[in-house]
Structure 1
Amino acid sequence: MNIKNIIFDFGGVLMDWNPRYFFKDYFNDDEKMEYFLENIAQDEWNIEQDKGRPLAEGTEIQVKKFPEWEKEIRAFYDNWTIMLKSDIPQNVEVLRKLKNTDYHLFGLTNWSAETFPYALENYDFFQLFDGKIVVSGTEKLIKPDPKIWHLLLERYNIRAEESIFIDDNQKNIEMAQSLGFNTIHVLPDTDLKQKLESFGVKI
């Protein structure tokens, strides 16, 4: 197997982002918090912002739908940086080691174009990608739409079969596999170094 490229998702792989980091203290009531995140500020809503819809527009749409939750909805993006708790150190360490090898590093992330610059400015490891990052909010495409992988392949002139795609989302992993990528599904207990080495990657 001739692996040349390693492609990282960010959230859940290199970054620990979760709205509960803010809303746990905000609500001080886990049941109410889970209701809000499952029914009001749900993933499907946040994904539209990751797909390129402006944060302000997304906020107004949801406030109109759920006026009784206006304060909480507005708090979501106002406190987004608190939800971005930290990097995931053991996986970032693997990334740093890969930088000193011959493998080409890429990012492919579902992330709002408005919030991603904060991460870029505050976490130096993003510089290891040398700008080779495809952001869903910028491209108006989002995983698991196969078009976003095709865009990555064409933009950087790389081949799926020579690449390993790393993500924490099962649907994204399945789509990448169907497109010919080698994949690593990252879970909280995944040893990323070991998984990469199982593909013959030397770190």
Structure 2
Amino acid sequence: MIKNIIFDFGDIFINLDKEATYKELAKLGVTEITDEMLQQYYQYEMGLISTEEFINFFYEKFSIPKKDLVFAWNAILLDFPKHRLAFLKKLVVTNKYRIFLLSNTNDLHISWIQNDWGMKLYNEFKNCFEQFYLSHEINFRKPNANIYEFVLNENKLEASETIFIDDTKENTDAAKELGMHVWHLIPGDDDVVDLLKRKEFIA
């Protein structure tokens, strides 16, 4: 029986354009994503370097002005369909499940979302979750096993009673390895509002 639901954020609740940042960086002269750049990204996503350090890396490497990098970096972020918030709020009201968010994200993205949505809507969304875990705040990132173990252990969750929803297969594969139920949601084909129609929830 499912007692706990762990949701990803991007392309689960907020829509993303995953190619947009690459396209915007290409306009700024960055046409190849190197291992060094990826390592900077991973470090930033785990909160191990600051926003200033992250931006300075690109400025020193490519002479990209701060405002242009921030624009390119946040280009991935799109709209938040309100029917998903309505679904989430209805799910909370049932009081049947413990509900968590677990997202690989960073300070620039969260700052953009807070500004774009406004803090009232952001807090309305955030308050739907028992815990709201952002990778840059907890210093772990998916698909590393330690991020899932952290959430399970901190909240005394049984993996077999927990479902994890994410749009990235390597993330759901990692959770499945630890014994969780998973839904690898395909953006454009699936919508999180159909979660309770899945076999795990149907007696």
The two structures share one fold, judged by TM-score above 0.5: yes
Indicate yes or no: 2:106 matched with 1:107. no
Structure 2 gap ranges (5+): none
Alpha carbon RMSD of aligned pairs, Å? Answer: 3.1
Question: Counterparts of 1:12-31 in structure 2 under 5 Å?
Answer: 12-18=11-17
Deviations 1:133-192 (A, max 9, x none): 121101111111111111101111111110110001111011001011100111121143
Offset at residue 18 of structure 1 (A):
3.9
Alignment partners' CA distance in 1, 2:191 and 2:22:
30
Would you say the 8 A contact 1:19–1:80 is kept in 2? no
Aligned residues: 192
Task: Verify the 8 A CA contact 1:50 1:111 in the aligned structure 2.
Answer: yes
TM-score (norm 1): 0.78
Q: Counterpart in 1 of 2:9?
A: 10
Q: Does the CA-based 8 Å contact 1:13-1:88 persist in structure 2?
A: no
The 3-state SS of whatever aligns with 2:154 is: helix
Percent identical among aligned pairs is 26
> Does residue 1:50 correspond to 2:45, yes or no?
yes
Deviations 1:51-101 (A, max 9, x none): 11211101112222223xx13x65232676665322144433332221122
> Which amino acid letter does the alignment assign opposite residue 196 of structure 1?
L
2:33 is matched with 39
Partner of 2:196: 196
Report the counterpart of residue 98 of structure 1 in structure 2. 91
Equivalent position to 1:62, from 37, 58, 63: 58
SS of the residue corresponding to residue 182 of structure 2 reads strand
Answer whether contact 2:20 2:72 (CA < 8 A) is retained. no
For the structure 1 residues 100 and 119, does the alpha-carbon distance in structure 2 shift closer, same or farther, using more than 3 Å as the test? same
Q: Distance in 2 between matches of 1:193 and 1:16?
A: 14
> Is contact 1:113–1:136 with CA below 8 Å preserved after alignment?
no
Unaligned 5+ runs, structure 1: none
- Partners of 1:125 and 1:112 lie apart in 2 by 18
Instruction: Say if 2:74 and 2:108, in contact at 8 Å, map to a contact too.
Output: no
- In the alignment, the residues of structure 2 paired with residue 85 and residue 135 of structure 1 have an alpha-carbon distance, to the nearest angstrom, of 18
